[in-house]
Each structure stands twice: as C-alpha cells, then as structure tokens.
Structure 1
Amino acid sequence: MIECLSCQSQFTNCIRCDMNNCSICNYGYQYCGYNRKCMEVIMDPKLLTCAEGCDNCIYTLSCEKCSEGYHEVVYQQAGVYRYVKCKKSCTTINRCLDCDKNNICTSCKHPYYLDRENNQCR
C-alpha cells in the first residue's frame, strides 16, 4: 500500500512543497537542498558559529567569506541559493589549489592546468 505524506510530515518547518522538495519554509527558516531540510537562519551573527576556515557565514551550512589560506568550494547551487564550504588551500606546491592527503596536487589555481605526469601546475 502506498501512503501519501503531507508536506509538513516530510519537512519540519515547511509551509509548502513542490514535488519532493520544500518550496517555502516557515519564517526564520531557509530550505537547504543539500540535506533537504528547512534550516533555522540565525539572525544575530554573535550567536552563529561558522565552520572551520570561514570568517563570515549566513548560517552554519554556507560561508560568505573564507579565511586566509582557504578557498571557496560551491557544493550546491539551486537558483539564487549558493551553498559554499571553505577548503584549506594547498600552499606547499607552486600554483596548486588543492592537494590530497599525500600532498599530491589535485587541482590548480586559475589559469593553470594540472600536468598529471609530474603533478605540477603549468
């Protein structure tokens, strides 16, 4: 037997759903597609704790300004909403943006490209 669920039973703090997502959250909440929840937007910046590497965040899931030595990684974008994490920049290899745990370059700063033969940015 297939059971129909109401929008409110699927998404806490949601007012209206479209298909399988919440389209309008209660006041003080914003829909975050990354984890499919209406997340509380903390209005007082003194009460907000940003993730590591983030100097300024709108809520704990998205950063507006990364700290020195970190760079933006957009992990989801839906319409006008952009969810950003800050990732530690690779500083040990010239022109490299990201390194893996073995300190091998995996991506380069713009406009450079990764030469996979010698793992250098050119």
Structure 2
Amino acid sequence: MTDIKGNVVLSRNAMEEILRLATLNVYGVTGLAPVTFAERFTRALALPSRPKGVDAQIRKDGTIVVTVHVRLQYGVRVSEVARTIASQVRYVFCSMTGIAQERVELNVVVWSIRVEHENE
C-alpha cells in the first residue's frame, strides 16, 4: 500500500458539531445552553440560529480546550452526568478525529436543570 501525502484540516465548526452531537447523546442531558451573549440574544429574539452550546479553543501548545454548556434532566446525579459527559464526549471526539485524548481538556458547565411536568 502506498502512502498518500497530504494534510487533513478540521475546522472549529466541525469540531464543535462533533462535540455537540456527542454531548446530546449522553443520558441525562436534555439540551445545550447558549455559550455567548450573541447566542443568548439570538435565541431571545427567536432569530433562526442553532445555538451550539459548545466552545472549542486551541492553545498554542496544541491542547484543545472544550467547554460544553448543558441542561440536565431533573433527578439525575449531576456529578455523575458531568463525569460521563467528560469521558464519553472526549472518547467520541478523539475516536472520530484521531486526536490523542491527552490533548483534549473537557469542561462541563451545568446551565440549568429541566423539570418535566406530566399533563393530567
């Protein structure tokens, strides 16, 4: 087999989309919260925009710092869900991108707890 030379460049938007989808697949997560003021403002005005709820920054040393802003389901153990988000999202992201897990720092911000009321 011959080696194919070239580079693969992963955009910040692509990284954030992978992270967003992986986060939404964790049990106990009901949604993502807006990260920036602009996202909150857009949502408040009901303008067409999909809030990401994920922020990914790349440091000069190559470390990727990820912060996910989540809304959790009422009744879940917050610390366990946060730990699951950190490990599961890091695993999915690294598996899909080929980036070493040691290069990813993942932070979880619990924005709110969602309580569902059953209609009687």
TM-score by length of 2: 0.25
Larger-Rg structure? 1
Higher strand share: 1
TM-score by length of 1: 0.25
Higher helix share: 2
Identify the structure with bigger relative contact order (alpha carbons < 8 Å, sequence gap 6+). 2
